[in-house]
Structure 1
């Protein structure tokens, strides 16, 4: 698996790159790739989003073809776009989401930050709130979009939205939870280590034509969370 550090990149440019890689991986022209980067400030809205997640009418999110609701990206936040061929990794979308969560929890643990899952929601959480969001898309069983890990970013932009459609839900950063400054570069190294090799017990590899039979997956958008739930029960 190739891991590519893109530094900072505009959202539209990164999306176009993902689409090219998805097509190349599906056609066997490229190897699986994890893109790691930061975006200039931008709000994005997945197909699970709605107007009630945008209490501030001045917010104009970019509407995209991933699952989930509204979120924010910006400097100090590590964004990861895994381009993986689930056609030869079991065709199990739920297992893939759990793998992403585990990789992010392992990365947080590298900084002595304990993070966990919350039943019924996708992402990872701490005592201080939501640490990372996940929203993915799958085309021809090749994944796109991915995760956003708050490292050392300003949290104020989240106050203008209901992050991931959850009203009143606190959001935190790796630096805040660790009680010390953590750089995006350090977080990239921890995430890359968590992804390295894609452990066989997490996403076992097999020939694409031998993968378990499932319905064709031309386009699928896995939610980052369920947007019609009560307010987040976690408190700061």
Structure 2
């Protein structure tokens, strides 16, 4: 495990369909798994309305009828990350780190906590006190989740983990869209956003939130970021 800052390629995708971002993740992940590349990469993105169902999820946790999903142009995808059902949409900042984890002790639990720490620091920067909740991955404000986490880890032949998927931070997200699902399968917990916590009405500024997350990610993971063309 190194103590020196390592280089991470940061790719800003902006607003992009879920399938296209997933394809980029998968292509980079396969390179790392096959040993045909070693580049640490992070994708920053915002999605149109999309429901994703993780490996531990169920379509039973989508509670809106198909007609309502069609009305709001909602895409539904089953994906290979951990966790249950979650929502992505406009006003949500999404981060997909495709990393091989030896520089961080090859420790998945530590990696998840580091992602949570990034979100906690970003939220503190705008005046929101958020924290972890024992037994429930993600970042919370009270009983309401403000940042979801869903990660997949696969092993290289060497045993080193390679990550995909990541975190989704609700900034100006339309929280009514979460009513189409039981978020993460937790009927007794709610969701919130930066806009709701602070009473903001400004539109989502992707670049500003990306800059905040870059600073937090640099500090928490001890890396040097290299901007790359999308």
Above 0.5 in TM-score?
Answer: yes
Q: Take 1:173 and 1:109, find their aligned partners in 2: how far apart are those partners? A: 13
Conserved? CA contact 1:128–1:172, under 8 Å: no
| Deviation of the 1:187 alpha carbon | 1.5
Q: Take 1:124 and 1:197, find their aligned partners in 2: how far apart are those partners? A: 18
Q: Take 2:9 and 2:125, find their aligned partners in 1: how far apart are those partners? A: 21
Q: Take 1:34 and 1:15, find their aligned partners in 2: how far apart are those partners? A: 12
1:186–1:77 Cα change, 3 Å = same
| Structure 1 alignment gaps of length 5 or more | 204-236
- Aligned twin of 2:193: 173
As a proportion of its length, which structure holds more helix? 2
Runs of 4 or more, structure 1, over 3 Å off, are 197-200
Does the alignment pair 1:186 with 2:201? no
| Structure 2 alignment gaps of length 5 or more | 1-7, 70-74, 156-160, 224-230
As a proportion of its length, which structure holds more strand? 2
* Count of aligned positions: 201
Conserved? CA contact 1:162–1:169, under 8 Å: no
| Deviation of the 1:20 alpha carbon | 1.1
Conserved? CA contact 2:50–2:76, under 8 Å: yes
Q: Take 2:208 and 2:198, find their aligned partners in 1: how far apart are those partners? A: 13
* Equivalent of 1:93 in 67, 83, 108: 108
- Aligned twin of 1:108: 123
TM-score, length basis structure 2 = 0.81
- Aligned twin of 1:25: 32
Q: Which moved more, 1:54-63 or 1:153-162?
A: 54-63
- 3-state SS in 2 of match to 1:187: helix
| Deviation of the 1:30 alpha carbon | 4.3
- Aligned twin of 2:158: none
Within 5 Å, give how 1:7-86 maps onto structure 2. 7-26=14-33, 27=35, 29-58=37-66, 61-86=76-101
* Equivalent of 2:166 in 146, 156, 165: 146
Q: Take 2:174 and 2:143, find their aligned partners in 1: how far apart are those partners? A: 15
- Aligned twin of 1:222: none
Does the alignment pair 1:122 with 2:129? no
TM-score, length basis structure 1 = 0.79
> Could you report, residue by residue, the CA deviation over 1:47-97 in whole angstroms, capped at 9, with x for unpaired residues?
100244222342573101000001111111111100111144212111111
1:9–1:30 Cα change, 3 Å = farther
